[in-house]
Structure 1
Amino acid sequence: MRLAPLYQQEQKQAKQRGIQQRERLVVQNLLKVRFSEIDNQLQAIIEPLLRLTPEEFTPLLLQLSREELIHRFC
């Protein structure tokens, strides 16, 4: 059994998890800055937002109102 391919796969997966965590933090921080806190309604839209690329979710978070975000993603 060769360990190098397994190690490379694990390394790739760890990198992907790190990217996903950073994207989640970006979304959460933008929501906090825009709306002061993340209540249950805003918490509910984080997962759907993360299905988009950063290029897609960033303008939405900066331009749409709270109500528009909730309506679009809930």
Structure 2
Amino acid sequence: MRLAPLYQQERELAKLEGKLEGKLEGRLEGQRQVVENLLRVRFGSVDAQLSAIIEAILALPPEEFTPLLVQSSRQDLIARFSNN
């Protein structure tokens, strides 16, 4: 009968991990929306070239990628973040 508390503890831990994962995914999705919106405002739309660099941009912390998105040209962003 000592397994019941361990099982309950594992279930609670799994629930907490799920909640944390959901919060992280939500935060990342929010950051993705911010990046896409900034690109759309700056360049009119998010085409295939800009879409291709979003993941690389998101690898930076927001305090680094925000000024880059506001100040850099489209060509500079593509050159910096593309895998070519």
TM range (shorter): over 0.9
What RMSD, in angstroms, separates the aligned Cα atoms of the two structures? 0.6
Match of 2:4 in 1: none
- 1:21 maps to what in 2? 29
Matched, 1:72 2:80: yes
Bigger relative contact order (CA 8 A; separation at least 6): 1
- Alignment coverage as a number of residue pairs: 74
TM-superposed CA distance for 1:4, in Å, is 1.2
What amino acid sits opposite 1:59 in the alignment?
A: P
The list of structure 1 runs, each at least 4 consecutive aligned residues, that deviate by more than 2 angstroms after superposition, is: none
> What percent identity do the matched residue pairs reach?
47
**TM-score by structure 1 length?**
0.97
Tell me the CA shift for residue 43 of structure 1.
0.7
Show structure 2 runs of 5+ residues with no match: 1-6
**1:50 matched residue in structure 2:** 58
**Greater CA radius of gyration, 1 or 2?**
2
Q: Which runs of 5+ in 1 are unaligned?
A: none
